[in-house]
Amino acid sequence: MLLWLGFIICTSLIVYSGTKLAKYGDIIAEKTGLGRMWIGVVLMASVTSLPELVTGISSVTYAGVPDIAVGDVLGSCVFNMLILAFLDAIYKPMPISAKAHHGHILSAGFGILLLSIIGIGLFSGNRIAPLGWIGPYSLIVPVIYFVAMRLLFVYEKRRIAEFVKERAEELRYEKISTRTAVVNYGINAMVVIIAAIFLPKIGEGIAETTGLGQTFVGNIFIALSTSLPEVVVSISAVKMGAVDLAVGNLFGSNIFNIFILAVDDMFFVEGPILSFVNTSHIISALSAILMTAIAIIGLTYRSEKKKLLLAWDSIGILLVYIANIMLLYMLR
């Protein structure tokens, strides 16, 4: 009972402070003149993925449960794509894939590329020689991540510049100083960090008491908890009519999540992290790839109608998510 209470408390803190982080990040963008484009695509995605980063490092150092770290990252990638289907359900005018700019295909493509590298790493196990104590994929992933950020910046520069201009006219935080925004940003970041530090141990306890296993708990419960900031931020963006900000946040978070896995590997000194975890994580990696591929098809085809609140691509994403949970449960 205490474990579940701790899980609920940590989750609640992450949701509350994760939302505040997004708000104060937006204020910092306005006050410093850095621009909401760069703040949104880079800082927003990294901020909402901060729980995954802290949980991952905590899992491989303090808790010693690499399965929780890998499960959290891959499970979050899967859950982020599920959020896309949920956003489609709450966006009434049309399918969200028809409203979103097709330029998101670029970030989605990078997500598939990075997930494929991790999938190969999981399949190979210890058959690929490590570089010191880390896997070679942990050197490839950061390079691709920074290339992706650069290409996305160049590609989206003009389009998002228009969005920034519109938002600058709508949002003016005249009563909040830069110092106040930075201080509040730091405070809420610390709350997220502290809550995320305890999640791995709680997850390990839930795995032991329920018999569900670390892989299942990491991919479902911990991933759900650390992905809640993405849920809150994306829903808020859609309600503001900023569909591209919401969709970009989800694809951007997936790219950053795989970068987090490379960071986790560097902190895990026992050896390449993917050689020390359950191979059933491949299920989540493949599920995330399938869901992203369906999203790309939806963004390309741009269906104009929905069936039962969802467009066909969102229905496909939902079905893959259900299959993912069932397979992980059977292989736990």
* Digit-coded pLDDT (tens) for 148-205: 888 877 776 665 555 555 555 455 566 777 788 888 888 887 887 777 767 666 766 7
DSSP 79-137: HHHHHHHHHHHH--SS-HHHHS-TTHHHHHHHHHHHHHHHHHHHHHGGGSPPBTTB-TH
Q: How far is CA 225 from CA 9, 55, 125, 297, in A?
A: 10, 10, 28, 28
What's the whole-number average pLDDT of the chain?
79
Q: How far is CA 266 from CA 19, 70, 153, 323, 330, in A?
A: 29, 13, 27, 32, 31
- Assess whether pLDDT exceeds 60 at residue 38: no
- Euclidean distance between CA atoms 282 and 327, whole angstroms: 11
Q: How confident is the model at residue 291 (pLDDT cuts 50, 70, 90)?
A: very high
CATH of the domain at 94: 1.20.1420.30
- Assess whether pLDDT exceeds 60 at residue 307: yes
- Assess whether pLDDT exceeds 70 at residue 212: no
Residue 279, number of CB atoms within 10 A of its CB: 12
- Euclidean distance between CA atoms 235 and 230, whole angstroms: 8
- DSSP E strand stretches across the chain: none
- pLDDT tens digits for range 129-152: 777 788 888 899 999 999 988 887
Q: Which residue has the higher pLDDT, 88 or 37?
A: 88
Q: What's the number of domains the chain is made of?
A: 1
Residue 158, number of CB atoms within 10 A of its CB: 9
Highest mean pLDDT among 12-26, 65-79, 170-184, 206-220: 65-79
pLDDT at 6: 82
Give the domain range for residue 110.
Answer: 2-330
pLDDT at 82: 92
- Assess whether pLDDT exceeds 60 at residue 35: no
pTM of the model as a whole: 0.80
- pLDDT tens digits for range 53-82: 877 888 788 777 888 888 888 988 998 899
Tokens linked to 331: 């292989």
Mean pLDDT value across residues 232-245: 74
